[in-house]
Amino acid sequence: MTTRLKLKPGQKGTRKLQALYGEDLVCVRYRYDAETGLRIKTAEIIVERKPWTPPALHFTAQQIVPVRIGLEDKAFQAMAKAASGKWDAKAKVWRIPYGKIKGSDLEKHIVLDAFRAEKPNKSI
């Protein structure tokens, strides 16, 4: 089964489901099953909303954190270089000691998923 189309609420093909689920509709997918010759329309909906506070990640000043900066963001790239950052071409992220970007705009660009997948004790 392959998914060929993923639509946001309000796009053509989602309006009936949006009328039914309202703001709870997240997306609509069209899937195609070659074996049975069926097109299957699925809807992703929100079924519950509860308050949640994400746990704070605690980095030491020496820990190297992955920071994603866009290719056109020359100002952020200059900030990364000034903070002793090293470009990791394989992962396409900057590797910067956390202590040098704490409290700066670069801190908002830390790639948390990449950090959790790596060894958290990696340092310069």
Give residue-wise pLDDT tens across range 43-64: 999 999 999 887 767 788 889 9
| One domain for residues 34 and 68 | no
One domain for residues 76 and 35: no
52 in a domain, yes or no? no
Domain count, the chain: 2
Tokens 């790596």 sit on residue: 118
- pLDDT value of position 113: 72
Q: Is residue 122 part of a domain?
A: no
Verify that 113 and 68 share a domain, yes or no.
yes
The more confident residue out of 49 and 115 is 49
Q: Are 14 and 25 in contact (CB under 8 A)?
A: yes
Domain of residue 102, residue span = 64-117
d(CA 20, CA 30): 18
Q: Is residue 59 one of the residues assigned to a domain?
A: no
What is the spatial distance between Cα 113 and Cα 106, in angstroms, rounded to a whole number?
Answer: 16
**Whether residue 73 sits in one domain with residue 112:** yes
Tokens of 26: 């997240």
pLDDT computed for residue 123 by the predictor: 47
* Rounded Cα distance, 82 and 105, in Å: 13
Answer yes or no: do 41 and 83 share one domain: no
Q: What value does the mean pLDDT take over residues 5-19?
A: 93
Residue 104 lies in a domain: yes
